């Protein structure tokens, strides 16, 4: 029964990753369509900026969900904190 929440979270993460990937593809297409890579003085894209902000919010949410997962003991063994400058010889 303990595996069920982690499977649900993983499935949610996969869905969010897919959504972010689609959003980024859409943003790339819009940038190409509206000539973002060759900007002109009359370039105005408020809707595209809205989509970019939405994609970034989805990405931020995915990162927060990932950070909320408990760290496994094996990963905890691999992590370390760098010593401060005062501790270095």
Taking alpha carbons only, the member of 65, 59, 58, 57 closest to residue 5 is 65
CA distance 55 to 51: 6
Give domain limits for the chain.
11-67
CA distance 2 to 49: 41
**Position 15 pLDDT exceeds 80:** yes
CB atoms within 10 A of CB 17: 14
Contact 48, 76 (CB under 8 A): no
Q: What is the mean pLDDT of residues 12-37?
A: 77
The band of 5, judged by pLDDT with boundaries at 50, 70 and 90, is low
Q: What is the mean pLDDT of residues 30-55?
A: 68
Q: What is the mean pLDDT of residues 59-80?
A: 72
**Pair of tokens at residue 88:** 């270095």
**Position 55 pLDDT exceeds 70:** yes
Give the mean pLDDT of the chain: 71
**Position 1 pLDDT exceeds 50:** no
């Amino acid at each position: 029964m303990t595996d069920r929440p982690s499977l649900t979270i993983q499935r949610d993460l996969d869905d969010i990753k897919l959504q972010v990937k689609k959003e980024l593809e859409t943003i790339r297409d819009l940038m190409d369509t509206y000539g973002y890579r060759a900007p002109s003085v009359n370039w105005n894209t408020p809707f595209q900026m809205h989509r970019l902000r939405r994609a970034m919010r989805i990405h931020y949410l995915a990162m927060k969900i990932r950070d909320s997962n408990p760290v496994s003991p094996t990963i905890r063994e691999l992590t370390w904190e760098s010593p401060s400058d005062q501790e270095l010889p």
